[in-house]
Structure 1
Amino acid sequence: MENSDRPFHTLEEQVNLLKGKGIIIQNEDYTKNELMKRGYYSLINGYKNLFLKKNEHGVVLIPHQYIIGIRFEDFVNLYEFDKKLRAILYNGLLSYEASLGAELAYRFSESFPENYSYLDINNFNHDEHNTVQVLKTTSSLANKIEQESRKRGNNAIKHYLNHHDCIPLWVLTEFMTFGDLNYFYLNCKEEIRQKISRDFTQRYKITYNLSQTNAIMPEIIEHINHMVNMFRNAVAHNEITYSKVIDRGPNMRSIKNVLGQSELPIQSQPGVFELIISLRLVLDRTEYVTMSDSIKKLLTNANNQFNSQINEKILKCMHFPDDYEYWI
């Protein structure tokens, strides 16, 4: 058997590799402990991009060269920064997930109160272009019921199957992923989508004590759902989040119009900043302020951990402007 081109390296060899790349090692015992705890690949390969030299076009130089003065601690601090960022976003994303699920359950059941109405393709908006997608949605819900009914122990779905005539949608939504909720919303009839968007508009007006505001249209909820779904998956799977960008992003202009901030410095391909700004429309004010304050505190702490050059890079990766505190 031939040797792998990615051979196993002992902790001592890993430390020497880092030294050979020009990374400053201040304490070898600390470095070995962190490498053992987090893994070389996750820590170094995962977060190296921020610390690599780039040309005038922002493209990483080949072969890789690290910025002079980069310490091993910088990798650990960035790893921890991203971990804390995911935790902050997770709480906000979960709040919106619960809210969207409650909205879908209420408005759909209001229009179609019959037992298992969510399994009837005729209760969704379908035509020759999206019939297959609607069938996938109803089939996914049926499969979810079957899977939960076969699990050991008690759960709400098994309870309703054994003691009631059907499983209400407001019970089933508790078992749906955000991806499930997203597709359910996409396939809802337009009148249901309109009711949901009006609910969010009214809630936004009340929670921010606004006399008037532009309507949060169904397409805006769709845009936000797309963004939330992408970040929700990243957060749930511990993917690198601070630099995540959605290549095929939603129409941010419509979100900017509802916020009434024409000068809002958002980019067409959403990152963390655009996600946070968008969540303002669908979270209660207290939830949004809690998330916003936590992000600000996280960035303030980062100022004490990284030099100014690295801090600027982190903000840029997150799409945060220099005056981000004014906007969020």
Structure 2
Amino acid sequence: MLTIRQMMRYLRNTHNMSIKSQQAHALRNLGYYHGYKGYRFIRIPQNRIPFHTFDELLAVNAFDMELKSMLYSKVMFIETALKSYVHIFNRSLTYYKTFASGSRDYANFFTKRMNLRGSINNTLKRDYQQHNQIVDHFFNQDRDIPIWAIFESLTLGDFGNFFWCCNKNVKLYTSRLLKLPSNLDADGELTRDIIFTLKDLRNAIAHNNVIFDTRFRTKRISPRLVKLLQKETSIRQIDFQYIDAYIILIVYVLMKMQVTKKECKQLISGYTASKESLRKAIPSSVWIQILGSGTRNNMMLLKEYVTRL
């Protein structure tokens, strides 16, 4: 493995990047493999950022860390709140019965339901072995674990699958609690789309992975979710290859959960300030590649949306 000094020479000679001798500690703290190699491209490794100086790379890293810092509490709040919004009744995991018995969809969702039960059991077993206080309390008294306690242990992805397996009544009830427009959510599935869209961001933040360019996204974003956000916020340029779209989604959900306008505007202002700091530190062409040409207008419209509610 190369020493820090050897890495600095490598950056200068191989990548034509100016790096100062006194930045050795900054490179060590950033990490060559996790840091430099993670921040040298946008979304895919082939889309390299033409850094001229190490300061430019540090600016992208700082922007990424600021994003994770400002979004972590918001995403965790939404995850916790969503779990309390979903009211489960007896025999609620019956979405598979929506389809004809023996059909492909029936088989797919029945299998999903069975896989979910296995995943829940494995999660509870893990938490019991790790002496989770809530799970211990019920297991040691040989009592059934209530749904709220199960939700405490579920990952956001498993919770999304749980919601997906619920019947239509549960989904529509949740949609009404969130005050989602019924003309855009007639089947109650938009909550599922919100959960799965936020899941990838939540996991990336929790594992301290790079998020500034949305490379964490694992699945295609639901067109219905994009249409919802466009119609509700009057923002037309919503593209989830840019982090703007996740800011818009988070603010939208927070407003639906009755979070104050002040708190939502603080998030928008903090994000805007971080973007502007990045703009001053890197070439404008790279800034636009990262954030998109419509980012300023998007945040202006998002603030107007919060104000008029």
Question: Under TM normalisation by the shorter chain, which class is it?
Answer: 0.7 to 0.9
Equivalent of 2:171 in 177, 180, 193: 193
Contact 1:215 1:258 in 2 (8 A): no
Higher mean Cα deviation, 280-289 or 188-197? 280-289
Shift of residue 46, structure 1, vs aligned partner: 1.2
Alpha-carbon distance change, 49 to 226 in structure 1, aligned in 2, over 3 angstroms: same
Larger Rg: 1
Equivalent of 2:94 in 124, 131, 142: 124
Higher mean Cα deviation, 128-137 or 34-43? 34-43
Which residue is 1:322 aligned to? 296
Establish whether residue 275 from structure 1 lines up as the match of residue 221 from structure 2.
no
Alpha-carbon distance change, 76 to 276 in structure 1, aligned in 2, over 3 angstroms: same
Equivalent of 2:282 in 306, 321, 325: 306
Alpha-carbon distance change, 151 to 88 in structure 1, aligned in 2, over 3 angstroms: same
Contact 1:234 1:241 in 2 (8 A): yes
Provide the TM-score with structure 2 as the length reference. 0.80
Alpha-carbon distance change, 94 to 46 in structure 1, aligned in 2, over 3 angstroms: same
Alpha-carbon distance change, 308 to 264 in structure 1, aligned in 2, over 3 angstroms: same
Q: 1: CA distance between counterparts of 2:159 and 2:141?
A: 26
Secondary structure, aligned partner of 1:46: helix
Establish whether residue 254 from structure 1 lines up as the match of residue 247 from structure 2.
no
Q: 2: CA distance between counterparts of 1:299 and 1:17?
A: 30
Shift of residue 195, structure 1, vs aligned partner: 0.3
Read off the aligned partner of 2:275 and give its amino acid letter: L
Alpha-carbon distance change, 270 to 40 in structure 1, aligned in 2, over 3 angstroms: closer
Establish whether residue 47 from structure 1 lines up as the match of residue 26 from structure 2.
no
Q: 2: CA distance between counterparts of 1:103 and 1:323?
A: 32
Contact 1:82 1:241 in 2 (8 A): yes
Read off the aligned partner of 1:84 and give its amino acid letter: E
Read off the aligned partner of 1:292 and give its amino acid letter: I
Q: 1: CA distance between counterparts of 2:185 and 2:230?
A: 10
Alpha-carbon distance change, 65 to 167 in structure 1, aligned in 2, over 3 angstroms: closer
Q: 2: CA distance between counterparts of 1:46 and 1:182?
A: 29
Q: 2: CA distance between counterparts of 1:257 and 1:214?
A: 14
Structural RMSD (CA): 2.7
Q: 2: CA distance between counterparts of 1:257 and 1:312?
A: 21
Pairs aligned (count) = 281
Which residue is 2:25 aligned to? 33
User: Which residues of structure 1 form unaligned runs of 5+?
Assistant: 1-7, 53-58, 205-211
Secondary structure, aligned partner of 2:208: coil
Secondary structure, aligned partner of 1:256: helix
Read off the aligned partner of 2:50 and give its amino acid letter: Y
Which residue is 1:166 aligned to? 144
Which residue is 1:15 aligned to? 8
Equivalent of 1:133 in 99, 107, 112: 112
For residues 101-112 of structure 1, the aligned pairs below 5 Å read: 101-104=83-86, 107-108=87-88, 111-112=89-90
Establish whether residue 150 from structure 1 lines up as the match of residue 129 from structure 2.
yes
Alpha-carbon distance change, 134 to 236 in structure 1, aligned in 2, over 3 angstroms: same
